[in-house]
Amino acid sequence: MNKPTFGPCGPCAPLANPFGGPASSPFGFGPIAAAPSAGPIGVFPAPAPGPGPVPPAPRRGPAPVLLGTAALFKILAKSGISNVPTSSVIGDMGVSPAAASSITGFGLVLDGSGQFATSSEVTGRVFAADYAPPTPANLTVAVLDMQAAYTDASLRLPDQTDLAAGNIGGLTLAPGTYKWNSNVTIGTNLTLVGGPDDTWIFQITGTLTVGPGVQIILAGGARPVNIVWQVAGATTINPGALFNGTILDQTNIAVQTGAAVNGKLLAQTAVSLDNNVIDP
């Protein structure tokens, strides 16, 4: 018969047979329980969706003025384009119904196709109404589109009329349509503040004059492509000025010595340059 053994706490239960039988604790706590098995992993709810993409800000200002095929030209005129070298025109130029002889100061070189010319002062091509087809027909359409754009811009309903009696230098203008029944003079810097899709239309029944060294400053992401100057009288951009936007002029546009234009010069008579940069 097995005799109980004595430990520090009194008699202890016999130890389990090391070769079989139920295991027991040497401290008399009964069989050693197996570790509990892990239960099934529960289903966790999907995290709540985060905020979606922020929608772009709505466009402010009038509906854009569509230029049609006139948009293909940096300078487009009906009676001529003159230049006092050296200028830099980034884009195509065209005259119609005037002939190539009305384009002066560019040293034109006629392409072998006879459809266009090139110039060291033009990063692009130069077209005239007396060049080979299809140039004459294409120019006719472009001039009609230019005139239609002028009419469209002139008929938009204005948000403000005769602001500052036409002396708008020093102002900061939000997107919108502005009309003047007079001449407009920009004698000091003018700032246009808006986003990259915002639009401006300036309707001028008289002349437009930008003073020497004056800048049309764009802020907030505003872009020249969204700014239209519809001018019934002559436009004069004085020496050293910086102009932004597309000019749709019913008469002529004169860009004087050293001035720069970010935009398009679209005139129903003539355009004159003098050591200028006409950039996109």
- What does the buried/exposed string (b/e) look like for 237-253 if buried means 16 or more CB atoms within 10 Å of the residue's CB? bbeebbbbbbbbbbebb
In a domain, 119, yes or no: yes
In this structure, the number of other CB atoms found within 10 A of the CB of residue 131 comes to: 23
In a domain, 177, yes or no: yes
Question: Cβ distance 267 to 249 under 8 Å?
Answer: yes
Residue 139, C-beta contacts closer than 8 angstroms, at least 6 positions apart: 94, 95, 96, 127, 128, 129
Kind of pairing, strands 200-204 and 88-90?
unpaired
In a domain, 221, yes or no: yes
In a domain, 40, yes or no: no
Total tally of structural domains belonging to the chain = 1
The pLDDT profile of the chain, 280 residues, written as one tens digit per residue, is 444 444 444 444 444 444 344 444 443 444 444 444 444 555 556 666 667 676 777 889 999 999 999 999 999 999 999 999 999 999 999 999 999 999 999 999 999 999 999 999 999 999 999 999 999 999 999 999 999 999 999 999 999 999 999 999 999 999 999 999 999 999 999 999 999 999 999 999 999 999 999 999 999 999 999 999 999 999 999 999 999 999 999 999 999 999 999 999 999 999 999 999 999 6
Q: Counting beta carbons within 10 angstroms of the beta carbon of residue 228, is it exposed (0 to 12), middle (13 to 18) or buried (19 or more)?
A: buried
In a domain, 125, yes or no: yes
In a domain, 206, yes or no: yes
Range of the domain at 96: 68-279
pTM score over 0.85: no
In a domain, 184, yes or no: yes
